[in-house]
A and B are shown apart, each in its own frame.
Chain A
């Protein structure tokens, strides 16, 4: 089948999509956007998090066909021009990135959190990011990055 959708503000289409393909697969393998990650492909790790019409979803759990005619934002769409989003900048600067495989998902979840709650407490950060697994950092520097991004965003 053919799917048409808007990804990071650009109209895109893909042909010969098998009905069983996930949105994650379509993004990664058909639309040249591998930034969303395939760590578990069963909705447990959050590494594939994208926004579907503005709402964070695990793109591995969304069928590609369900994105027909809708707007998708991926990690590739976070930055404007050459300038990193404050959340991206904070993750780089605070050492929240080691292997980085979880990072795209954390960035999407963090940005969503800060849009809803610009000044989250630590328990609120932990609850909001509990659906994103990281195996490298122990999360301390991720918390540092979220706090730093919140401070910048509020400025």
Chain B
């Protein structure tokens, strides 16, 4: 028996109780508090070796030669691989196959993988990697995205005509609008990191027949499988993926990291290969949130009603496209916020540079835009003398409105209610007397006892698309099996949809219990032996995989009732709990009684289609669903030192229907924290293409001392088009929290603060 059998399948779990609308405990909760849950970095195998990655020190360089001779001589080393060892097509990428699995002749960002080493100890492998001799010819780099489209800018990809990844135009209404009140601003958003705690890691086990099994932490097993197969030159049946325990994701696991590398080493050595990034490597091992430069102008009536809006948004995509195209799509179609605007002129662009590649992170293109449109909305409110809450309520979308792409908002759009709801939540008490320094800016550093501290309040609203957009075939697959075990009906739900901590497996159980009337629901390990579940991103899994599980349960129920009807020679049967009842209400059998043979159904489920937008006007039904949230932040600012303490961060969000209310609140609180982090502290500092702070010492995320209490008000306006009325939950709080915090700091300091994260020197100088 190999040890992988005990360490690779963490999510098989059954649980009792908990229908839709309840908040049952997570089925993996006990495993996670006892240390038994097998994360991707916990896997091991008897005879495994360790893989490490050698990465480029340069943002842009030609590789003249690579000499692996010395590295191979290190005792304990079993393989050193470069691009020359890639058996298939050396190209990966979510939207464009523009990314080599291993650099082939050129490196385009600092940290790009160049070579792989396998050895019997990770330190041996690291030391051997340092003996790989790479002869680089450093090339001119384009590191300022604002210059990336200049005629004389170096090309990041020599095969392309320019450094443009995608440009999107939205044109609507009056092409030359005027308005009595005009406000404008420029805004800049720094590069944020997902900073999931579980490092990129996994175990690749060769099957001895030229194929491989990969256990890995990811957000979408099937898109990984497709990419790994292309590089290995193998068909999907020979590259099997199983989801290992995922230590957070937040978008950072949409792209491949060590997946292909571990498989290459495993197939080359014939041994199981474990890879696990240290934190500094993790900062180079996944894409980040795009830094953005935004120029906005609002025209409005004297009463503050929007007449027109213009926006020019530039995203730095870094060296490879990743999901930059879709981020541009979101920035463009959603970048003016949840407002009614008659005339619109938006240009959104994403460009290649020699900076770190940027791609998906929670909020996906809307986060950056929200800082700009919410700052400008405050500016407009002040200019026309309307309250900052009321100006949002006045201009906020309502159900039935058209958004800026001409799409009808065909379910609830309670912008006014959300912003007024957060306004009406209790405020934290005004500071009086001696205060606990831990509640003041600077905290235990004891930098103030209240002198120089000013309080400010800020508001923000947002909306975000749910699910994949612009015509993407966005589906999920669910297999549900119902059988009798020891006389009790037991359901098994099998999807490939990634559980990354959000609680999808709990929801899958709740749906099965509700639809099939069973108590026991086993969650099958997530793997590629069932059809794709689509990505765990875009706040989509409860909606789309939830929809698939619901549909599969309905198919199982139909089959069971058909079988019961034949066996019992009765018609008009239905399932009531775990009983089969006749039309009269008479119980004719227990569910387990008709399960001599298991019933299993597999269903592929799709939400309503979306459509590409018109390339000239940007008009079209690009998105399937919109989710709305509002935040109110209260901050204390030490105006002498520029230190900020967030005192309260309260929110209201419409979730359609809360299938698991506790999990919904957990998502909202966690998402709010990430938005606050971007407003105040989180930035990957990149200078001339070099990352300056790849560590948790220098890249700060909010601690429990930084976070304030958070009141969460959940509204439930069911979406009639979605399964159970659900609306995606995960992303909106990350979008509206940061702008509310920034607004509160502006209110406290009177400073314009047109860049985030806001640093002390922005406040004091």
Contacts and interface: CB of A to CB of B under 8 A. Distances in A.
Given A37-B197, A98-B502, A84 B33 contact: yes
Interface centre among B30, B44, B250, B710 (most CB of A within 10 A): B30
Interface stretch (B564-572, B683-691, B697-705): B697-705
Contacts of A130: 444, 703-705
A127 B501 contact: no
Interface in B15-33: 23, 25-26, 28-30, 32-33
A139 B674 CA distance: 11
A38 interface: yes
Interface stretch (B146-154, B348-356, B665-673): B665-673
Contacts of B63: none
Contact of A133 (B38, B121, B198, B703): B703
A42 interface: yes
A42 B277 CA distance: 13
Given A20-B123, A39-B279, A42-B696, A91 B35 contact: no
Contacts of A126: 438, 704-705
A108 B30 CA distance: 15
A135 B194 CA distance: 9
Nearest to A92: B29
Interface centre among B33, B39, B438, B670 (most CB of A within 10 A): B33
- Interface size grouping (class) on chain A: 35 or more
A47 B197 contact: yes
Contacts of A104: 33, 35
A76 B35 contact: yes
A40 B710 CA distance: 27
A135 to B, nearest CB: 5
Given A40-B696, A137-B666, A139-B673, A101 B704 contact: no
B729 to A, nearest CB: 13
Contact of B247 (A99, A125, A140): A99
Nearest to A101: B247
B199 interface: yes
Contacts of B710: 138, 140
Contacts of A74: 35
B25 A38 contact: no
A91 B246 CA distance: 18
B278 interface: yes
Interface in B175-220: 194-199
Contact of A39 (B121, B247, B709): B247
- Interface size grouping (class) on chain B: 35 or more
Interface string A111-134: 000000000000101110111111
Interface string A82-103: 0010001101110101111111
A44 B123 CA distance: 21
A143 B709 CA distance: 10
B736 interface: no
A52 to B, nearest CB: 17
B272 interface: no
A36 interface: yes
A142 interface: yes
B35 A133 contact: no
Contacts of B34: 35, 75-76, 78-79, 84, 88
B639 interface: no
A33 interface: yes
A92 B23 CA distance: 12
A41 interface: yes
A97 B33 contact: yes
A95 B707 CA distance: 17
A138 B278 CA distance: 24
Interface string B272-311: 0000101100000000000000000000000000000000
Interface of A: 18, 20-21, 28-29, 33-42, 44-45, 47, 74-76, 78-79, 84, 88-89, 91-93, 95, 97-104, 107, 123, 125-127, 129-143
Given A98-B666, A101-B247, A134-B197, 12 more contacts: A35-B35, A38-B199, A39-B197, A42-B697, A84-B30, A92-B32, A98-B670, A101-B196, A134-B704, A135-B250, A137-B669, A140-B669
14 contacts: A34-B39, A38-B276, A44-B697, A89-B33, A98-B670, A99-B247, A100-B28, A101-B501, A104-B35, A123-B439, A135-B674, A136-B501, A141-B666, A141-B669
